Structure 1
C-alpha cells in the first residue's frame, strides 16, 4: 500500500510530466495483466478477456449489463424450435471487419464467419482446430463438443445451431465473452500464407477498436474502427498499459500517466476518494472468491475435514480486513444477484468447537499440516489473496491445522493444478453470463476436472445429473428446484468453500466519461469520451 508521503511525492514528480500523445488523443488504461492470446476462446484468463473480447470482437448475443437479460449483438433476433434442439439466428448485414496494414477484408460479416468460428472449436479435423495449442478450456468444460451436433449457414444472413439435447443455457453461452466471432476470410488468408497462428496473435474482428501493436508485458495499442456497426467510438486510440502491481497502477493514475485504473485494492479506495480529480465506478459483481480443497488428496477427501476448515474460517474478519466494505460474505457459490440463488442458504459462522469435533470424527484430533497456493496481485473477486491466506492461516491454527502459504506466479500454479500437486488453492470465479449453470458446470462438473477448471477435482455424478436435468428443461421452476438442490449438496460437501462476493470497482480521472463496467468482467470503452 502506498503511504500518503509517497503518494504526494509521486503527484509532485508526475505533475510536471507532459502527458503522452496517446493520452491527449485517446485513453490510457492501466490493466493488471498481460493477455495470453488475442483470441479469448484459447484461454481461461481474465486479462485475456479484458484485452480482447470487448475491444476487438462482437458476439451473436449480448447480456444487458443492467438487467442481465439477453439482447441482440451480431444476431438481430433468434428462434428456438419446440423440441429445444434447433436455434435459428438472423444476422445483421453490413457489419464490417477491421481493415489493417496486414489484412483488408473483401466482404462484410456473414454466416460463413459464424460457421468457421464454431467449426474450429468442434471439429478435430478443422485446419484451425490445433492451431495455437488447440485447447478451448471454456467450451470444453461446458461439453459443447457433445452438445452441438451441427452449425450451418442457411444463406448468408442466417445461421442454425443444432443440438444433440435441449440446453436452456445455450443462448447465454452465445452471449459469453468467450463466444466471439472470427473472420473466416482472414483465417483462410493466413492459412494460405502458412501463418495460421496470426489469426490469434494479430487479430481481426468486428469490434469498436482494431489491433495496432503489442509489446509483451508492456502495452497494447488499439485504434478506432471507423466502420463499427454501432457507430465509431469517440476515442481515436486506446492503450492498455500493463501494470501488474496495484500500487504502481494507482501511482500512474495519480500522476496522469493513466486515465483509468483496473482493480484498485480495497485499501486504496480512501486515497482515491480524497482526490477531487478522480472518481470511482462501482458495479455489483457476478463473482465469488473461494478456497478450493483438492478432494483427491488425503485428508481433504474426507467431508468432515472440509467442513472443519469451513467452520474455522472467520468470514466477517476477512470482509473487514481484506474487502473494506467492498464485498459480502458468501454462503453459496452463486451471488444473491443470480436468479438461481437459494435465499435459504445458511449463513456460515465461525464455530471453532464444531471444527475441533469434526477433526476428531475424521481421526485428526491433533490437526494436520497443509499448504495453500496463492497467486500474485489482486483479482476481481479478491483484492488481496495473500492477506486472505494469512487470515485463514490464523483461523486454522486455532484448531490445530498448520497452514503454509505458497505464493507463486500463475503459470507455475497452473502446472501444479494440472498435475494435481497441491493441497488447496485460493481462487475464485467471475461469471461469463447470467445463467447459474455458468458457475456450477465450469467449477465443479466432472468434465471440468479433465479440462483443468475444477480446482477441487471433485466429481459427483449426482451433482452433474442435477445440472444436466436443469438445462434440459424449459421450465424455470424446475431449473430453480435443481439449482437449490445443487447448492444444498455443495453446502454439505464443500469441495469449494465460498468466502465472498466482491463489488466490481474501477478508478478513473473525472474527465473520462462513458465508461461501462461490465458485471461479468471487462470494461466497455465504446462510448468513452472526455469532458
Structure 2
C-alpha cells in the first residue's frame, strides 16, 4: 500500500505501481532530491556537476575508478594496465563478463569488450567518426585538457585496448578515472546509427553501471531501475529516483515530510535544522572544489591586471565564509584546495585593503570607479550553497571602491550562449574537480584550449603558464610536478584572472533509516551500496 507522503509526488515519482501486492517506494527504492536539471545522459557532452551527479555514477562505469576514501586510482572496467617505458603507450586488460543495460530498443548480444572502449574514445578524438558530430559534437572536458590532441590512437589488440599518446602525460590515468570518461556500447551505437537515430545514444543511455534508465521527465524526475547483472553485484535497492528540486528550502521540506529520502547540497543555513532533527542525519565530506569570481580578461577594464588586483583587494572572503557557508567551507587561499597534493601552503591571496584597491584603480585611470555586470546561475552549487547571496556581498564590497555591480541571474542554457560569445564582464561560478590531479583544475579553468571548450571563462591565456602545465604532466617525478604547480599558483596570484573565494565541504542530508550511501570528495554519491536498516 502506498502512503500519502509518496502520493505527494503526483504519481510520477512512485517507485512502484498502485497494485496492492507491489512494493511501496519505501520498500523498493530511494528518492533523492537533487538540486538541478541535467543537460544530457552522456557525461562526455557536458561539464556541469549536476549532470555528473545524476548520470555518471548510477548509469556508467569507467576504465579506472577513484577510491572515494583514499583518492587512489584503482581498477574499474580495466582489471589492470601497463605503461610502456617511454610513457607513450598504455595497454588495458578488461574485465570479463561485464554486461550492458537494455531498453525497449536495444538488448545487448555480448558482454563489454575492447570494441566498446575503442568506439567510446574514437568518437571523442576522431573527427571522421560518424558519432563525433552527434549531439553537437562538443566534448568540453576532453577538449579542455587537450586529450583529443594527446591521444593519437586507440585500438584493439586481442582482448586488450591500447592507447598511444603523442607525448608522456602523468595525468592521463587520472583523466581516464574522471566522471566524464564513461564507457559506451559500440553495439548500441551501431544499431542506432543504422536506424538513423544516433542521438539516442545520448538520450536513451546504455551503460554498465548499477542502475539503468527507466523513465525521465524533463526538469521533473529521473527514475532508475536496478541493473541486476551489474558486475560488482546488484544494488540493494530496486529503484532510484532523482526528484529535481532546485530550491534548497523545498528540498528540505520534502526531506522533513518524508517525500525524499536524501537531500543533495543543503544550504549552509539549513545545517543546524538538520542536525537538530531526530529523524535526519547529516553527512559531511571534504571537497575538491573552488568557488571563484572569473573576470573576462579580454574585455576592458579587466584586461588591466591592476583592475583585477583591485577587485581582489576589495572582496572580503572571510565575510563570505561567515554569511554564506556558515562553517561548511574554508576561505580559499589559492585556486587549489588544501586537500590537493599540488596545493602551495605559501600562496597568499590579497587580504581586504580598500586603500590599496582604490590606489590601483586610480593608477588604471578608473579613480571614479566603473560599472560592471556579474553573471551567475540560480540555485545552489556544490562549491557555493548560495550564489545569489554571495553576489550581493561581493556587490557591497566592490561598491566601497566605486565599482557599481549589476547582478544578472541566468539559466544555464542562456548563460552558455553568453559565455560562448564572450560578451560579459564577470561570472560568479566555480569548479568541482573530476579527479585528484592538479592539472584538472589548472588546465580546465585557465588553459588556452579551455577557452574554446567553454570552461576557461576568464578567457586568460598565458604561454608561460601553459608551459608550466605541459612540463608538469610530461614528468613522472612528483617533486618536479609539485614545483611547477607552486610556480603556477604564484603566477595566478600575481595575474589574478580569477579570484578564488572559498572551498566548500560536501554536505548531504538523509533520513536516518537510509544507510550505505558513499559521498566522494570529487562530488556525487554512490548509491549501489545504499540500503534501509
TM bin (shorter chain) = over 0.9
Structure 1 unaligned regions, length at least 5:
1-12
Secondary structure, aligned partner of 1:297: coil
Q: Residue 360 of structure 2: SS of its match in structure 1? A: helix
Among candidates 54, 59, 63, match of residue 57 of structure 2: 54
Question: Of 320, 332, 337, which aligns to 2:339?
Answer: 337
Cross-structure match for 2:123 = 120
Mapped pair 1:320 → 2:322: yes
Corresponding residue of 1:511? 513
| Alignment partners' CA distance in 2, 1:465 and 1:164 | 16
Task: Quote the offset at 1:369 in angstroms.
Answer: 1.0
What are the Cα deviations for residues 25-81 of structure 1, in whole angstroms up to 9, with x where unaligned? 100011111111111001111121112110010000011111111000001111111
Specify the alignment match of 1:368 in structure 2: 370
Please state how far the C-alpha of 1:196 moved relative to its aligned partner: 1.1
Deviation at 1:454, TM superposition (A): 0.6
Structure 1 match to 2:226: 224
- Aligned equivalent of 1:84, options 87, 110, 120: 87
When the two structures are aligned, how many residues end up with a matched partner? 518
Partner Cα distance (1:356, 1:99) in 2: 62
**1-structure distance, mates of 2:293, 2:37:** 25
Q: 459, 462, 465: which one pairs with 1:463? A: 465
Q: Structure 1: how far apart are the matches of 2:349 and 2:405?
A: 24
Three-state SS of the structure 2 residue aligned to 1:52 is helix
Gaps of 5+ in 2: 15-23
What is the CA-CA distance between 1:255 and the residue it aligns to?
0.7
> What TM-score comes out, normalization by structure 1 length?
0.96
Partner residue in 2 for 1:74: 77
- Aligned counterpart for 1:479 among listed residues 481, 500, 522: 481
**Deviation digits for residues 468-515 of structure 1 (CA, Å, limit 9, x no counterpart):** 010011111111111000000000000010000000001110000000
- Partners of 2:344 and 2:74 in 1: CA distance: 26
Out of 292, 295, 298, the position equivalent to 2:294 is 292
* 1:14 shift after superposition: 5.5
Deviates more, 1:278-287 or 1:94-103: 94-103
CA contact (8 A) 2:6 2:25 kept: no
Partner residue of 1:420 out of 419, 422, 431: 422
After superposition, give the CA deviation of every residue in 1:303-359 in whole Å (9 maximum; x if it has no partner). 111000000111111000000000101011100000000011115311111111111
TM-score (norm 2): 0.95
How much has 1:24 moved relative to structure 2?
3.1
Query: What secondary structure is seen at the aligned counterpart in 2 of 1:462?
Result: helix
- Structure 2 residue 385 is matched with structure 1 residue 383: yes
Q: State which of 104, 108, 120 in structure 1 corresponds to 2:107.
A: 104
Return the offset for 1:453.
1.1
Give, in whole Å, the separation in 2 of the partners of 1:347 and 1:306: 12
Distance 1:211 1:138 in 2: 24
Q: Where has structure 1 moved over 2 Å in runs of 4 or more?
A: 13-24, 99-102
Task: Find the aligned partners of 2:155 and 2:7 in 1 and give their Cα distance.
Answer: 58
Separation (CA, whole Å) in 1 of partners of 2:460 and 2:340:
23
Are the equivalent residues in 1 in contact too, given 2:32–2:262 (CA < 8 A)? yes
1:25 aligns with 2:28: yes
